[in-house]
A and B are shown apart, each in its own frame.
Chain A
Amino acid sequence: MDHNLSNSQTLFLNGSVISENPLIIKTRGEDELELDPNSISDEKLRLLIGRFENGCSYLDVAEVLSDQSREQVEALLAGLKYNGIIRPSIAAEGKTGMEVLLEIEDLSNRLLYETLYRNTFWVNCIQAEKKGDVPDSVVHGMVIENYHFLFRESYFDAPVLSYVPNTRVRLAMNAFFAEEYGHDELLLQALNRIGLSREDLQKTVPLPQTMALCNALAYWAHNDPIFFFTTLGVLEGKDIRQDSFLEAAKRVGIDSEFIKPVKAHSDINLEGEHGSLTRKIFSEIPIVDVETIKRLHAQTHLFIELYDAFYTAVWQHYSDPKALSRRIDLI
């Protein structure tokens, strides 16, 4: 029997009085239950039922039953609750989806400015002016790792295609998936230009940091879809107008035919405003509960770290031109 009734709860009659004498309550579960006053006077019982009709606290009940011990009052309330005659009403506590997202965006921005935007990869890309400022192998390696990532897009997008809690969110994700699907083929066209075939890439091992990010997203998509949704804005580049990596690639003289299909993928994202997908999703989420909000804040740190590590690893590994191919058959 549940004795967990706190002083802060408001207790309501869960039904209506269908007979005064004998006193019979019909609950919302359609049970018809006669209340036997037992040790409580008939008058006090009816007074109590009247109080429940308008909602009252434990203290109100104790006041009416001032001649009863605390244990007797608690036993009475527990019995009434067990039989569905009264229900505590506990107000919902949470924030709207947009309010939560704006908090997460602010946190993400802070972390991005403190870490990822200052990592070797991005600093060199932003500052690149001429050939060699960003090694060709790094540009190629970035596309290779992006290919591995997009090849596995369905690993992390597909689990949320059946997002049950919110129809509009589910539809938005399905539309996004339809637009995003197949982008790995665009990057493959670019990689063909540097002599990498589909079969070569099939035998290539992604960087551990690429898979760490990919598996993290897939894990969250399966087990924490609302957090997964928060990552999409960062991954799809909500706040960019142009692809800084591609602009840098142009400036350092990368073959334009290599860049073209990569730009096509980037343009689809920009024109489709994929970076705003998270905003669209969270604007449709009416409420997020307290524990989830805490979790989203905490995990954002981890996500940005994984994302930062991805870019750093691309620079560190592919700065060595000989390291371009990570073929499993050569290990």
Chain B
Amino acid sequence: MQAPTTADLFTYPALRPGVEVQEEEDRIALIYRSQSCDIEVDPSSKDSVLALFKSIKSSVKSTEQLRLEYPTISESIAPLLEELDRLGLVTEGRFDRPAGARSGADLNASLRDLANRAMRRRCKSSLFNLMTAGTVTQAILVGYALEYYYLVRSAPGLIAPAMAHADTRASQRLIQRFLVSELDHDLMLAESLASIGIDAAKLDHMQPLPSTFALCSALGVFAKQHLLSFKSILFLFEIPSVDFNAAFVDNCLRLGLPEKFWKPILRHAHINDELDHDDITAELLSGITAISAEECLVVEKNLVLTIETMALQDEEIIEYYGRSNALAPRVFG
């Protein structure tokens, strides 16, 4: 592994503020807080070395400039700086302004636009189209409810790891409250399933559809591994779906599904709307003052992937639960 040298890291080497340079008879002493070190120098070089130290103490010059200014000791400058660095006496005299970084608020704004564009391109809203056409089957609606139940039941465990990350107190409180607001929502949806004869107690080993699990695992992995991605995609799960919910209820009524089936699902959707959960990403990102370009790219890709997976889930619910031999719920073995 190639480690960067002092020459690689410092373009404008400077003595740390507070380093005192003292000339002594046959050496130069450098004193910094409770440290001191003596630099033994050849008498013929002493004046140049002293001048060099005073130069990097009081002005900002590049290593190249220093070599030109002190030609008699130019070959010694790099090893000298390396030793001073080893002793913690040197820093960079001029730092670049970080380029390409974005504030969290800026990233949030661009993510909303990206989400809109990605949804236009990727989402066919097949399930919604079936509902508006009035051709969705009962099996598909029940399948939707089962997949929804799995996601909601998994939510606390997926969200919880996000709370462990080092973060601002404000952000941690937001995530904690978000988690608390999601607790026990699976019980609501269990009522829904019970109304059509599906006992949630028998769903411990229920397997979701692959795309549902892909959404869950993405959320969970982001919560553990990349909090920024977790924060950034949360809003996708909380976007109000007024038209979808209305179409869902209409079709439940058309198909004779009981009120106890669709009402809890609707209630859960309304709870999220009332809590303004779709603003949660904006709130979480607004507290971040700087995000690197690379991290922004990671987040953008994860956002698009999540949208695409949601679209796949839509298709998969129709395809799987539309089969005559579909296992519903998907309890194997």
Contacts and interface: CB of A to CB of B under 8 A. Distances in A.
Contacts of A254: none
B9 interface: yes
Contacts of B9: 98, 279, 283
A105 to B, nearest CB: 6
Contacts of B35: 109, 113
B100 A286 contact: yes
Contact of B1 (A109, A166, A280): A280
B1 A272 contact: yes
Interface string A275-293: 0110110010111111110
Given A166-B292, A223-B166, A276-B4, A291 B101 contact: no
Contacts of B4: 276, 279-280, 283
Interface stretch (A26-34, A140-148, A201-209, A243-251): A26-34
B202 interface: no
Contacts of A222: 164
B1 A165 contact: no
B106 A273 contact: no
A94 B288 CA distance: 10
Contact of A223 (B110, B117, B165, B287): B165
A287 B98 contact: yes
Contact of A286 (B2, B92, B101, B288): B101
Interface in B194-230: 225-226, 228-229
A91 B92 contact: no
Interface in B270-304: 279, 282, 286-295, 298
B291 A92 contact: yes
Contacts of A288: 290
A14 B109 contact: yes
Interface in A224-250: 224, 227, 239, 241
Given A28-B110, A280-B1, A295-B166, A92 B87 contact: no
B290 A287 contact: yes
B88 interface: yes
Contacts of B96: 96
A110 interface: yes
Given A89-B106, A94-B98, A94-B101, A291 B91 contact: no
Contact of A113 (B34, B99, B293, B294): B34
A30 B101 contact: no
Interface string A210-224: 000000000010111
B1 A179 contact: yes
A162 interface: yes
B234 to A, nearest CB: 16
Contacts of A292: 166
Contacts, number: 148
A99 interface: yes
A30 B291 contact: no
Interface in A158-204: 162, 164-167, 172, 175-176, 179
A27 B100 CA distance: 23
Contacts of A227: 166
Interface string B75-98: 000000000001110011001101
Interface in A63-98: 84, 87-96, 98
Given A29-B115, A277-B3, A289-B289, A167 B294 contact: yes
Contacts of B54: none
B168 interface: yes
A194 B258 CA distance: 76
B113 A84 contact: yes
A287 B101 contact: yes
A114 interface: yes
A94 B293 CA distance: 13
How many A residues touch the partner, as a band?
A: 35 or more
B67 interface: no
Contacts of B8: 283
Indicate the member of B99, B166, B167 with the most A CB atoms within 10 Å: B166
B92 A99 contact: yes
A94 B289 contact: yes
Nearest to B6: A279
B22 interface: no
Interface in A1-19: 2, 4, 14
Nearest to A292: B166
B287 A291 contact: yes
A323 interface: no
Nearest to A172: B1
A106 interface: yes
A109 B89 CA distance: 10
A237 to B, nearest CB: 11
A113 B33 contact: yes
Contact of A277 (B1, B92, B95, B289): B1
Contacts of A109: 35, 88
A273 B3 contact: yes
A280 B117 contact: no
Interface in B102-134: 102-103, 105-106, 109-110, 112-117, 120
Contact of B293 (A4, A223, A273, A286): A286
A59 interface: no
A164 B298 contact: yes
A102 interface: yes
Given A106-B16, A165-B295, A93 B279 contact: no
Interface of A: 2, 4, 14, 27-31, 84, 87-96, 98-99, 102, 105-106, 109-110, 113-114, 162, 164-167, 172, 175-176, 179, 220, 222-224, 227, 239, 241, 272-274, 276-277, 279-280, 283, 285-292, 295
12 contacts: A29-B113, A29-B116, A88-B105, A92-B103, A92-B289, A94-B98, A98-B92, A102-B91, A165-B292, A176-B1, A277-B1, A280-B1
Given A95-B98, A273-B1, 14 more contacts: A14-B113, A28-B113, A30-B116, A105-B88, A164-B298, A239-B88, A273-B3, A279-B4, A280-B4, A287-B101, A287-B291, A287-B292, A289-B289, A290-B289
